[in-house]
Amino acid sequence: MRVTMMDVAQLAEVSSKTVSRVINKEQYVCPFKKERVWQAIKELNYHPSVTARQLCGAPSSIGFVYDNPNSHYIIECQKGILEICLQEGLELFIRPCQASSTTICEDIIAMVRRSQMAGLVLTPPLSEMPTLLTRLDEENICYIKIISGKACDDDRTICINDFKAAADLTQYLIDLGHKDIAFIQGDKAHGSAFQRFSGYLAKLNKNKICPNEDFILDGIFSFESGVEGAFQLLTGDNKPTAIFACNDEIAAGCLFTAGFMGISVPEQLSIVGFEDSPFSRQTLPGLTTAKQSTELVAKTATQLLISLIRKNTKPQSKVFTPELVVRDSACPVN
């Protein structure tokens, strides 16, 4: 027979309401009673019914919606969010979507209502769409947004300081003697692409290096962008001594093109990436990059969302700064 909340209450010698409050991690439950409830849950191997939790209004699931071509980023987000959901006894709904869709706002709202989600974890570019955030607020839908920025604007935000990390990478190249540093940009719909480019420009200006417009190329966060961008840069009359790729996939594409053209990395060309994805560790040479702790960011965002839903602690936003990881793809100018 299925173990019920009433069974737990009887064994713990408390009311079923107290069991519910303990499971939902509400405040103001006597520590002694809380301990008895958790012990009873363990002894009876009790698992709360998702349907029952929905009927009583308790949060039973959260959602992760995304629009991002970087599979490594999405997988790391899923791992982090799922780990916290399992710890908290929540279901996780995962759904890719198209941020450019004219019906994106209503589609997401309908999904939340249909699946009775308690809240959403939003990543770029969805987390950086004012129209979507406004509609979610109007519908009283809880969400936490992960964005690129130097500081958080409210208690529902996790920020990634891409600006500082990109500035540090650029300074690293400058300290190696590079002045002709190219930059291949990422998808402009993502705030991270803008912040990384801004950090690059800021360090060039601080070191009184005039940016070369021929060295700044548009792109998206893909291997193909790196291949095409590097080919354009390395077949021109004026060639850079270093390439700053807006993410590791672009950097891997640059490495491929350099190898195809017989250009030695890093002896003839230095290349750096961003994110510390598997590409950075699997390429030859290994990529110098900025380590972005995506799984930890996702965990923190999920914990913040659950606190907001349950209202048992005051939500606290947080800023993460990717750290420089030096490998073998950059060296001093010859």
Checking if the pLDDT of 268 tops 90, the result is: yes
Q: What torsion do the CA atoms of 202, 207, 211, 215 make, to the nearest 10 degrees?
A: -100
**Stretch 286-299: mean pLDDT:** 94
Q: What is the pLDDT of residues 222-267, one digit of tens each?
A: 999 999 999 999 998 899 999 999 999 999 999 999 999 999 999 9
Give the model's pLDDT for residue 169.
Answer: 97
Cα–Cα dist 277/71, whole Å: 10
Query: What are residue 38's DSSP bridge partners?
Result: none
Least confident of 42-51, 81-90, 96-105, 127-136: 42-51
Q: Name every residue whose Cβ is closer than 8 Å to that of residue 302 and which is 6 or more positions away in sequence.
A: 62, 80, 81, 84, 85, 121, 144
**Does 162-291 match 61-161+293-322 at the fold level?**
yes
Residue 215's pLDDT is: 97
Cα 327 to Cα 260: distance, rounded to the nearest angstrom: 21
Determine the average pLDDT of the residues in 117-137.
93
Rg of the chain taking only CA atoms, in angstroms: 24
Convert the pLDDT of each residue in 32-44 to its tens digit: 888 888 888 888 8
- Best CA proximity match to 176, nearest among 329, 332, 324, 288: 332
pLDDT, average across residues 169-195: 95
Q: List, for residues 60-85, the tens digit of each pLDDT value.
A: 789 999 998 778 889 999 999 999 99
Average pLDDT value over all residues in the chain: 89
With bands split at pLDDT 50, 70 and 90, how would you rate the model's confidence at 58? low
202: pLDDT confidence band, cut at 50, 70 and 90? very high
Model confidence at 175, pLDDT cuts 50, 70, 90, reads: very high
pLDDT at 185: 96
pLDDT of residue 72: 84
Query: Structural domain boundaries of the chain?
Result: 5-48, 61-161+293-322, 162-291
Percent of the chain surpassing pLDDT 90 = 62
Mark out the alpha helices in the chain (DSSP H runs).
Answer: 5-12, 16-23, 31-44, 50-55, 71-88, 104-115, 130-138, 162-175, 191-206, 223-234, 248-260, 278-282, 294-310
CA gap 317, 249 in Å, rounded: 29
- Domain 61-161+293-322, CATH homologous superfamily name and number: Response regulator (3.40.50.2300)
pLDDT at position 55: 39
Which has more confidence, 8 or 122? 122
Report, as an integer, the average pLDDT of 164-184. Answer: 97
Q: What is the pLDDT of residue 56?
A: 45
Backbone angles phi, psi at 126, to 5 degrees: -60, -40
> Which residues are bridge partners to 96 per DSSP?
66
Q: Which residue has the higher pLDDT, 38 or 169?
A: 169
Angle at 80 between CA 75 and CA 86, to 5 degrees: 115
- CA distances 233 to 75, 151, 193, Å, are 32, 34, 19
Give every CB contact of residue 59 below 8 A, 6+ residues apart in sequence: 24, 53, 90, 118, 119, 306, 309, 310
Q: Which CATH superfamily is domain 162-291 in?
A: Response regulator (3.40.50.2300)
Q: By mean pLDDT, which of 49-58, 126-135, 282-291, 295-304 is the weakest?
A: 49-58
> Which of 43-57, 174-188, 275-289 has the largest mean confidence?
174-188
Structure confidence at residue 116 (pLDDT): 82
- Architecture of the domain defined by 5-48: Orthogonal Bundle (1.10)
Q: How far apart are CA 42 and CA 35, in angstroms?
A: 11
> In the numeric block, which tokens belong to residue 249?
């996939």
Can you tell me the mean pLDDT for 301-328? Answer: 86
> What pLDDT band is residue 54 in, cutting at 50, 70 and 90?
very low
